Each structure stands twice: as C-alpha cells, then as structure tokens.
C-alpha cells in the first residue's frame, strides 16, 4: 500500500484528526473528519467563511494529528494546504462525506477543498520505529 493510501486509511479509521494552523503568532487547533485521496493528492474540506480558511490563506503551513487508541499509534502529517476550486474534487469529497451535503454544495461559494503539498507523514508509537512517507 502506498504511503498516501495508508495515511488516508488511518485517518478514516480514527474518524477524527486535529488540524493545526497559525493565526498571527497564535497556534490554533480544531477537530476535522473529512479526508479524501483524489488524483494522487490528500485532501481535506472546510468552509471559506471559517477562520481556518483565512488562517490557511495567510499561512498555508499546517499539520494534522490523529491517534488510534486500539494500536497506540499516532500520525502526524505536515505540509502546505493548497486550495483547489475544482468542482470535480468538491463533488468527490461531498460524495464521500454525504453528511456534509446539508451545509455544503460543490456549486456554492463556501465549500473549500485543500490538498497537502510537500507533505511528510509520520506514523509513531511507543513500541515501533517511526515510519515516514512523503507526498
């Protein structure tokens, strides 16, 4: 299994990951759950009206972290989150996460999908050596 698919599978299993951004000189962290591999890229989704969107526009460097309590493994993915206004990827994201369709549409001006650029993903645990992938 390629690294990006392993990352996506882990994030789908844990269901919640935490996205860290910067707001001026203040770190901001919040829970997310959307994830999609599309056209060889790892995507997340948010709304353009949210503060997280404005923070990423000002500074695209971000990191996500998720923990699997069953295995004691955690994942960190660091890189830049790049906006993609392609309707096709918005449709794919909303089809994968239909629970969002009451708030978002591929044709609204709010739905935002972003992909990781120059990402480093590291799986860690207390019992095994770290495993790192880049994409």
- Per-residue pLDDT tens for 5-18? 999 999 999 999 99
The DSSP H or E segment spanning 117 is: strand 111-124
Nearest to 75 by CA among 135, 131, 127: 131
- Per-residue pLDDT tens for 29-87? 999 999 999 999 999 999 999 999 999 999 999 999 999 999 999 999 999 999 999 99
Q: Where are the alpha helices (DSSP H) in 3-114?
A: 3-14, 51-58, 87-96
Cβ-based neighbours of 92, under 8 Å, separated by 6 or more: 36, 38
Looking at the predicted structure, is the pLDDT value of residue 1 above 80? no
- Per-residue pLDDT tens for 112-121? 999 999 999 9
Looking at the predicted structure, is the pLDDT value of residue 127 above 70? yes
Mean of the pLDDT values across residues 85-105? 97
The C-alpha atoms of residue 114 and residue 23 are separated, in whole angstroms, by 18
Give 25's pLDDT tier (boundaries 50, 70, 90). Answer: very high
Residue pair 8/40 in contact (Cβ under 8 Å)? The answer is no
Question: What is this structure's pTM?
Answer: 0.96
Mean of the pLDDT values across residues 25-31? 97
């Amino acid at each position: 299994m390629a690294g990006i698919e392993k990352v996506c599978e882990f994030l789908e299993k844990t269901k919640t990951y935490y996205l860290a951004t910067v707001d001026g000189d203040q770190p901001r962290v919040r829970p997310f759950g959307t994830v999609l591999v599309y056209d060889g890229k790892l995507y997340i989704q948010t709304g353009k009206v949210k503060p997280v969107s404005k923070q990423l526009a000002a500074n695209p460097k971000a990191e996500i972290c998720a923990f699997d309590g069953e295995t004691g493994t955690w994942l960190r993915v660091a890189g830049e989150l790049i906006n993609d206004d392609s309707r096709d990827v918005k449709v794919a994201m909303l089809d994968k996460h239909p629970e969002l369709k009451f708030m978002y549409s591929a044709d609204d001006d709010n739905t935002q999908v972003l992909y990781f650029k120059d990402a480093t993903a590291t799986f860690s645990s207390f019992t095994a050596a770290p495993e790192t992938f880049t994409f």
